[in-house]
């Protein structure tokens, strides 16, 4: 699977919720997520645990490309898989966040409160192999509706941001 994405840091007191509601996006819920990033040379590998669910997510992304695209695979697991994976892979970072999940057409809007890092907004438009212009147009539509040009884009994963704070793993 592939997606186009952007991440921006929301300043203290920045409330973008009203713009999201006015965009016509549908609220899908509030998620408490723990992402455990494992050392892996071929890309990023994380175990995401939320509630009674767990997913092993592997993705590659060129942070220097003009368009921030990810190629990713998701494997559904049991939350107890963490203990197995921690014995195979070295843990690099642990990211805890509360995520408001909104959906606008084919685009996921994440309002994240990340422990030790602050507030962020992410857009992820899932793309298909056919008609890439369609997905890019939809991504730009949400980008413009939320006036994300007013924010600085971050080309880092939460893993990178946590590591930069010196908070490697817990």
Q: For residue 154, what pLDDT is reported?
A: 95
- For residue 4, with 0-12 CB atoms within 10 Å meaning exposed, 13-18 middle and 19 or more buried, which class applies? buried
Secondary structure in 3-state letters for the chain: CEEEEEEEEECCCCCCHHHHHHHCCEEEEEEEEEEEEECCCCCEEEEEEECCEEEEEEEEECCCCCCCEEEEEEEEECCCHHHHHHHHCCEEEEEEEEEEEEEECCEEEEEEEECCCEEEEEEEEEECCCCHHHHHHHHHHHHHHCCHHHCCECCCCHHHHHHHHCCCCC
Specify the CATH number for the domain of residue 41: 2.40.320.10
Neighbouring-strand partners of residue 169: none
Q: Mean pLDDT for the chain?
A: 92
Average pLDDT value for residue range 16-41: 95
Q: What is the pLDDT of residue 169?
A: 52
Q: Does 23 map to a domain? A: yes
User: What is Dmax (Cα atoms) for the chain?
Assistant: 46
- pLDDT at residue 160 tops 60: yes
User: Measuring CA to CA, which residue among 94, 115, 118, 113 is closest to residue 168?
Assistant: 94
- Its domain, for residue 35, covers 2-165
pLDDT tens digits, 80-115: 999 999 999 999 999 999 999 999 999 999 999 999
Does residue 170 belong to any structural domain of this protein?
no
Banded pLDDT at 168 (limits 50, 70, 90) = low
Q: Is residue 160 part of a domain?
A: yes
What average pLDDT score do residues 146-168 get?
Answer: 91
Q: How do residues 133-155 score in pLDDT, each as one tens digit?
A: 899 999 999 999 999 999 999 99
- Partners of 29 in the beta sheet? 101
Query: For residue 96, what pLDDT is reported?
Result: 97
* pLDDT score for 15: 84
The total number of structural domains that make up the chain: 1
């Amino acid at each position: 699977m592939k997606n186009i994405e952007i991440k921006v840091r929301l300043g203290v007191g920045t409330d973008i919720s009203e713009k999201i509601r006015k965009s016509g996006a549908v609220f899908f819920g509030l998620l408490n997520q723990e992402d455990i990033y494992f050392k892996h040379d071929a890309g990023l590998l994380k175990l995401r645990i939320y509630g009674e669910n767990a997913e092993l997510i592997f993705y590659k992304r060129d942070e220097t490309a003009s368009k921030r695209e990810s190629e990713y695979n998701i494997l559904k697991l049991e939350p107890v898989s963490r203990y197995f994976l921690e014995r195979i892979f070295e843990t690099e970072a642990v990211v805890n966040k509360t995520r408001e999940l909104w959906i606008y057409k084919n685009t996921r809007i994440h309002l994240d409160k990340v422990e030790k890092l602050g507030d962020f907004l992410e857009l992820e438009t899932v793309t298909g192999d056919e008609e890439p212009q369609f997905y890019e147009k939809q991504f730009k539509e949400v980008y413009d509706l939320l006036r994300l040009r007013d924010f600085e884009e971050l080309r880092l994963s939460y893993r990178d941001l946590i590591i930069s704070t010196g908070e490697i793993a817990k």
